[in-house]
Structure 1
Amino acid sequence: MFSIPHLWDLIRKRFRFVGPGLSLAMSSAGWVGLLTLIGLGSDYGYLILWAILAVLVYKYAFNRGIARYTVSQGENIYAGLRRVPGFRTVETPVIGGIYLIEVMNHGAGAMVAASLLASILPIELPAKLTVILMIAGITAILYHNSYPLFKKIMVVAGVIIVCGLLYNLNTLYFSVPDIAAGFAPDLGNNELLYYIGSIMASLGTGLSLLCYSMWLEKETKGAHGEAFFKEHINLVSFDLTLGFLLLGLLSFFYLTIGFVVMNEEGMSAFENDLMIRLIGHTLNTVPFGMTIFLIISFVTLFVYLIGALDGRARAVATLIAQTINRKDAEDRLYKGMVLVFAALFIIFAFIGDKYLAKELVTLSMMVFGLVGLLLIYLDRTLPPYAQGSWLWYGVMAAGSVLFPVAAIYYAMM
């Protein structure tokens, strides 16, 4: 007889490794993607749905490869990349340098999150003070280097966001013909192709996807081998799939916000505060619609900042510890990097540009494509039971070539 305790055991088993994939989704749903998708929805409707799907498929495959490597080898992907001939000496400066460059974007994201929080709170706080308090709170959460606490925050945030999205989606009208048409690529619109470059750079982020490996290593506690791999890889894949489904749902939601609120009225994207007011007018057709929109948008950006800070601090600490061959120093390095990145987040929130320079985005996309090719190389070194399918190799090869090509095209426009 099927009992509630038995059902609970099944749920616990299925969700045993839930955390890294959701953390990846939460830290990838950044403010650039959020605002870019609202703007693209207002200007083009659903015409770029095919590009969103293609980018998510490639980045999902990218992380599937990372998951197979981590579970089969019991180490993070940064250690694996150091074994690629010729990449060992440049891994730390290249990947670490791009992580530092991306801080400019996260600082601007902190300012947007502070603005959203100010719209929710019953008291008025200066934006700069709000940023300082918010980053200080995130730093306090992360400084103790507690992965279980980090995981709980990400999972709870995921539940809040999904519930809020489903509630807000009830207020929006869906045009099935427009949605269907959005899956047919339109390669003749040069302006649209330029914005597709923005989607490739921002949606799901780029090299930040490598941080997933460290969270997964924490989750599996370094266990590996054929028996462990075959028993648990499907559970790991389930978590990763949940994360990318959430990222896809967020993308569709913000694209739909732009389309329904502005595109159908013949309005283009404009100043953010006015956009927020117009969105509120639409969503308030149900009780607390706008308040819920602001809450889920703030929670999305808040956990994006937590994931961005933790992931980069952990990644740079790992890269440095591997370079100096001092695994025992990794915890101290992590705490130090949390403080460094927190300070940089605040600095760039005050003085940074709202968007990364086009040249820096181009560089990040090109390196991301290169790392995709390196993942293919690493996958071929895995034991047969852990290697990807030919479909995986095809998706990875295509995406790893298209990203640098799209980067060059993006830089030329």
Structure 2
Amino acid sequence: MPHAPHPDPADGLTDGLAQSPDPADGLLDDPYGTYARLRDTAPVHRIAGPDGSPAWLVTRYDDVRAALADPRLSLDKSHALPGAYRGFALPPALDANLLNMDPPDHTRIRRLVVKAFTSRRVESLRTPIRRTADELLDAVEPLGHADLVAAYAAPLPITVICDLLGVPAGHRPDFRSWTDALIAPDPARPQSAKEAVVAMLGFFTQLLDRKRKEPADDLLSDLIAVRDEGEGSRDRLTEDELMSLAFLILFAGYENTVQLIGNATLALLRHPEQLASLRADPARIPVAVEEFSRYDGPALLAIRRFPLEDVTIGGVNVPAGETVLLSPSAANRDPRRFPEPDRLDLTRDTTGQLALGHGIHHCVGAPLARLETATALAALIERFPRMTLGVPAEELRWRPSMRARGLLALPVTF
């Protein structure tokens, strides 16, 4: 899961891209149309970044893919030029996470996370995920209608990731309100992001304390054991790293999957012929998830990078320390890589799509996100064969974020 979109409101777009008269105007209202224009105009654009400072936006597939794996592009904010990277930052107890790290610290901590998402462990979650999906659909079926984001796409992944970490059912707060506050802050309540951070810090402090006193057979207890018993070990975690890691797994494991489930469901409802083909052959759903990810994935932008030295991207020289923004969504709609990219085609060869990253920062929880999405879609298609949108598609509202591509609500009728 650790991958864009990410939980740092200094990095998470507060929509500065859409507020300045620059080449990126239009991203908020029409991201894919704007990206198409930018790709056609030039491979790299100088824009006003999310914090108002200049940034370089990369949109073409070959350039984005190469940059995602380029070790010269650092995630460590200490490599930013003085004054070039500003904005609200997480406290150290939540900031010492994989999205702010380069090797060797990144390698050391990612090694611990990978153990939680082995193929065997993810596969063992298949039945519990389907059980949770069915329970959520049981609750809305008698109503004949639902907001699938609030009633299904959001609670399903938070249940799964909380079970994996060992967060008790009675101690699962409203993560959706926290993520909204961080990724798409309310301009009318500028303090909402800080309030969310304070709430999260308190939650994770209490959670770690509870797990230390009452360890169990779960990932969080395992990570605490690594922290408390790993003196002298190369895998030892600091206290800040432990809390930041728990925070990132929970946050990213929830956020990406909510959006992917919602966006994929909408894509099917808007393409009834594709929906019919999956209903006729549900075994194709896992492969179809790759096309949903390419077509309308959860990350408009990957986490920002800072060149360790002057680099050339798409023939453009980018000075060391300046902010680089890479767009997986723009790359996934690049006709140089995917013919007719604006057409949903569940038979398409999606090899190399970048929705969940590439290189050493590729989403470590990608297998779980794919399994959750495939399971959610299978249960939904099976249960509601006559499901339709509850409002005209043009009335749907998207989260006001240039980084996270997700619906605020998805009304449907059964």
Q: Is the pair's TM-score, using the shorter chain for normalization, greater than 0.5? A: no
Higher normalized contact order (CA 8 Å, seq sep 6+, divided by chain length): 1
TM-score, normalised to structure 2, is 0.30
The structure whose residues are more often strand, as a share, is 2
The structure whose residues are more often helix, as a share, is 1
